[in-house]
Each structure stands twice: as C-alpha cells, then as structure tokens.
Amino acid sequence: MEINPAVTFKHDRTLMHAKRPKVLIVGAGLGGLTLGAILQKTDIPYEIFERAPKVKPLGSDTIQLGNENRELQFTIKSYFEDSTAKFGAETRLLARPDLYDLFLKQVPKENIHFGKKILTTKQGGNGILIRCSDGTDEGDILVGADGAHSSVRQNLYLELKKFNKLPPADDVPLPFSVVCMVGNTRPLTVEEAPLVASEKCEVVRIVGDNRPYAVESSKLHDSFRNSEWGPEAAETMCEQVRDFPIIVGGDKKLTIGDLIDWIPKESISKVMLEEKVFKTWYGCRTVLIGDACHKFNPSGGAGAVNAMHDAVVLANYINALPFHPILSEIENAFELYRSDRIEWAEKAYTSSQTIQSFVAKVLRSNQSESGSGRQTDDQPVFVIKNMPEFMKRKIAEQMYTCRPQVAFLPLDKTAALVPAAHQPSLSAKAPVEDNDSKSVCVV
C-alpha cells in the first residue's frame, strides 16, 4: 500500500542526512494546537490543517448552582483549597476561549492552515499523502486531532477494515444519548449582564424544576446524515427553551431567550454528546488524539484535559524517533503512546459515566417528585454540599496524579504531597548523530 511503489528503497541511514519526520496535524482544537505548540520547541517540521475558516472555542474560576427563582444555592470550588501543596500547582477553572488563544499564540501563523477539509488519506512505507479540497500535502506522520467525527479516523478505519484489522467494537456508529445547544453571545455590557464585571470567570447553572429539556434521541448516529443538524434544527431547540430563567447578576431577570437574541445565528450549534473509548488509536503512519479516539460526556470535564495529555505523550515519542524512521519504528512509537494513555482515558470515561448517571438520576427524581407536590429543588445541591471528603479526594487524585510533562523541556520538580503518576514517555530521548552520521534512538 505504497504512495509511490516505484520509489521504494533500502533504508540505510548512513547514506542520509539527518532528517526528522514531518508531522501533519488535522484539527486545530486544543489537542491539535497543544501538539503543534510542543513540536514548535523541537526541530520537527509540522503543519496544522483545520477545516473551519476559523475555530469557535466554546466553553471558568467557580461554578455556581441556582434554581428557577434565580436564587444562588451553592458554589463549587476546587476540590482542595491547598491544591498547590497536594499536587504542586493551583487548580482553577479556565474559560476555554482564553486557553485556546494562549495555545494559538504559540503556533506561527504559517504553520496553521484554516479552511482545509481533508477528503482522503493514503499511506504506506514511504510516507503519507492527504488530499484536501484545494490540493495535496505529504508527510511522514498524520495525527488525527479532528474531533469525535474525525475524518482521519474514518479514513483509517476504512483502510483497516479492508485488511480485516479493525476490531468489531470500532466498526459501529458512534453512540450518543444527549443533544445540546451551544453558542457564544456578542460581548455584553455591564448594564446588560452585571456578572461580566466580575474579575473571575464564573459559570452559573440553573437546576430546573420538572423541565422536559432532557430529551433522549436515537442511540446511534450516522455521522454522514446532516438533515437534523442544520441551522433550522438549532432554531427549533432555541424556541423550546427561550423562557428558561437565568442569572446574570444584579436585579436583572433575564431568560435564555435574551442570550439567544445576543448570539449571532451562525454561532449557534446543535451538538451531540457522544461517549466512547475506541480500541484502535493508530494504523501505519496515522495516529489519533483527543476526541478522535476517546470521547467523553462534558459533564465530567475531562475532554480537553485528556486531549492535551495525549499531545504531550505523543510528542515525547515522536521526538524520540530516529532520523528517517521506518514504518515499524513509527508504529512502535504509536503503540507506546497508546499504552501510556488508554488506561487514563478509560478511567476518565468511567468517571464521566458515573457523574452523568448521578446527575440524570437526581434530575429524574426531581421531576417525578415535583409532580407529587414534594419540594426537591435542593436535592442536587444537598448531595454536592454533603459529598464525603474521601470521595472528593478520590476524584481529585484520579484527575491530578496524571500530570504528564514534555520530556525534552525542563521538568517541573515542585514538591507535592501527592506525587505524579509514573510517566513512561519521560524516558523517550531525542536521536543524536554519531561521527559516522548514524542515528541512535533511546526509548
């Protein structure tokens, strides 16, 4: 399965100049940008391709819970006030657009190409070729960082399926059970929403009373069917929730309808909240990171973090590849990356499922009991406020003990009561040339 079989040659590194593998990254979300920002610190050439003309990062220091009377009932802060002592760094919630802009600034403009839709990929022993809507690009490694409905994954899986190398568990449509609406308003004034004057980035969630907004759709979705996901579908959802009360600070009594009116129509999207950890993360010269290989329900808050962790570990193993790596060396690096990360992805998936199940049960209980006249608005708040400390500690330690670092940059050696989990990729070393122009790779 060669890109150009006629150019196949014997791989003799003693006859070659030192050459690092060129990396093609598809997807300019947090995972793709993190990988690009890390590779920028090496001598590894890379390019980032994003199908959208520009990325709309959707997405905080505190999360506050309120009720339909616009009364704040509880504020969720970090799991530990002394997180710096426990984990070596302060924990805080951060607005996704701010984080995205931070990573975007680390990637030179000439390395990122917007409006590039990947149509097909072709790979073999000599390299990889991607065909976009406006041309082709070649490289040595292809990274699919293009989300839950990754075109890179779809092309890879079609290829693997031809050779009976795709596990049955990965040969099914991506499952989902929740649909939501997302959007960003235009910049608001303090007069419109007093909360924007706060120095902290805050999220306010309203727990509804017997609201029919948790609607279950089809369990399976064919990613090529778009009839239910256009602007009209999002507009229908908007109309269903316009009267839902929100908290914006001060004595303002606004509803979601007010926010909707402040959102440019092109910024409103109807999205699915899929959940799955794929078994297959790579094949030949193609490898997947982030939502492309593990998709979590956002209620667990693990999606972006795990995508960035993927990028760190994968970058360590790519940087450790020898000059002019052959296919078996690339696949070995991909397998090491998958082995390092899949256990953490599966833990995050389990936690996400647990949180989602808990919230769903509480809300269903609210709806059924409110119909009988019982007051149950405080149930979710009560459970959160009275969560045992050992449970908080267990959740936090699972989240924060996984602290992968870039192996070829100065390591953070800040003392912490809870040590970081073992990170195998820290032992992956960059290749060096000896006097005979041969390369050595230590993993």
CA-to-CA separations, 16 to 3, 177, 439, in angstroms, rounded: 21, 53, 10
Tell me: pLDDT of 440 over 50.
no
Could you report the per-residue pLDDT of 26-79, keeping only the tens digit for each? 999 999 999 999 999 999 999 999 988 876 565 545 566 666 777 766 666 555
Structure tokens given for 282:
């790579």
Residue 269 belongs to domain spanning: 16-442
The CATH number covering residue 294 comes to: 3.50.50.60
Q: Which of 186-190, 297-301, 318-322, 340-344 has the lowest mean pLDDT?
A: 297-301
Tell me: pLDDT of 109 over 90.
yes
316 falls within a domain = yes
pLDDT tier at 96, thresholds 50, 70, 90: confident
Structure tokens given for 214:
């948790």
Which residues, in sequence order, are CB contacts of 411 under 8 Å at separation 6+?
A: 405, 426
Could you report the per-residue pLDDT of 309-323, keeping only the tens digit for each? 999 999 999 999 999
Which residues, in sequence order, are CB contacts of 386 under 8 Å at separation 6+?
A: none
136 falls within a domain = yes
Structure tokens given for 442:
């230590």
Could you report the per-residue pLDDT of 252-265, keeping only the tens digit for each? 888 889 988 988 87
pLDDT tier at 302, thresholds 50, 70, 90: confident
CA-to-CA separations, 40 to 25, 153, 311, in angstroms, rounded: 13, 25, 13
DSSP classification of residue 220: B
255 falls within a domain = yes
10 falls within a domain = no
Structure tokens given for 32:
């793709």
pTM of the model: 0.76
Structural domain tally of the chain?
1
9 falls within a domain = no
Per DSSP, the three-state class of 272 is: strand
d(CA 156, CA 148): 14
Structure tokens given for 437:
């122009």
Structure tokens given for 81:
């006030």
5 falls within a domain = no
Which residues, in sequence order, are CB contacts of 10 under 8 Å at separation 6+?
A: none
CA-to-CA separations, 404 to 22, 313, 409, in angstroms, rounded: 23, 7, 12
365 falls within a domain = yes
Tell me: pLDDT of 334 over 80.
yes
Q: What is the mean pLDDT of residues 407-425?
A: 89
76 falls within a domain = yes
